[in-house]
Amino acid sequence: MKSIQSVGVIMDGNRRWAKEQGLPSLEGHRRGLDKVKDLVSWVQEAGIKELILYAFSTENWNRSPEEVNYLMNLFEMTFGKDVDDIVQKGVRVKFIGQRERLPVSLQKKMDEVEGRTKEGSKGTLIIALSYGGRAEILAGVNTLLAQKVEEVDEASFRKALWGGEFSDPNLIIRTGGDKRLSNFLTWQSVYSELFFTDTKWPAFEKAEFDSILAEYSLREQRRGV
C-alpha cells in the first residue's frame, strides 16, 4: 500500500446522527469524541505517523452559547480523563488554533496534555481547536511581519504557520455528507487527496477507514507533471 505520513479528518455529522438516534443533539458531540479514541488506534495500526483532527472551527464560535459552552466543557473533561490512555499509546498531542479565544481552564488542560505526551514516539495527534485555515495564514503573515523578514519563500512561510512543524496531509476525510473543506488546512491541503463520505462521524467504522486507505493507494498523484 502507498505510504501515508499524515491524515486529516473533518469530523462532521454529530448532531444529525444524534437526531437520527432519537438522542439530544449535544449527545452527538460526546459520542463523536468517543470515536476519536478508536480512530487513533486505527491510525497507529496502519502505521500513519500524524493525524490531524478538525475539532472546533473559528466559525463554530457562531453557534448557540449553550452548544459552545457544552463543547468547551466536553473538551476539558475529555482531555482530562483520556490523557492516561494517550500516554500509554505513546502518542504525542499538539494543538493548533486561536488558543487565546478558549477558556483559560481549557488552555491549561491543553498545556498539561501537551506536556505529558511530549515524549510520545508512536505518532502525533494534532487537534485543530478554534482553528481556521485563513486565520492560520493571517497569523503566519503577522508573525513574519513582526520578525521583519525581508523576503519570504514557501519554506519560511510554512514554518510560520501554526502547523508548520507537521506534514501536509496525504489525504483528508470528511464525514457527514458535505463535500467541502470548510476552512480546514487551507495552505497544507493543496495536494491532499479528498474523500467524502455520507457516514456521520459517530457511525464511522474501521472497515470504511481501511477502504479509504485502500482507495488512496490506487489514486495516481501527478502534481502537475
Cβ pair 91, 122 in contact under 8 A: yes
Q: How far apart are CA 177 and CA 182, in angstroms?
A: 13
Q: How far apart are CA 209 and CA 215, in angstroms?
A: 10
53: helix, strand or coil: strand
Q: How far apart are CA 36 and CA 157, in angstroms?
A: 30
Sign of CA dihedral 101, 103, 104, 109: negative
**Strand runs (DSSP E) across 58-165, as ranges?**
92-96, 124-131
Cβ pair 137, 161 in contact under 8 A: yes
Give me the residues paired with residue 150 across strands.
none
Cβ pair 93, 113 in contact under 8 A: yes
Active-site residue, from 14, 34, 38, 60 = 60
CB-based contacts of 207: which residues, under 8 Å, 6+ apart? none
Task: For residue 168, indicate whether it is catalytic.
Answer: no
Task: For residue 12, indicate whether it is catalytic.
Answer: yes
Question: In angstroms, how far is CA 41 from the centroid of its own chain?
Answer: 15
Q: How far apart are CA 190 and CA 212, in angstroms?
A: 19
Query: Catalytic residues, which ones?
Result: 12, 60
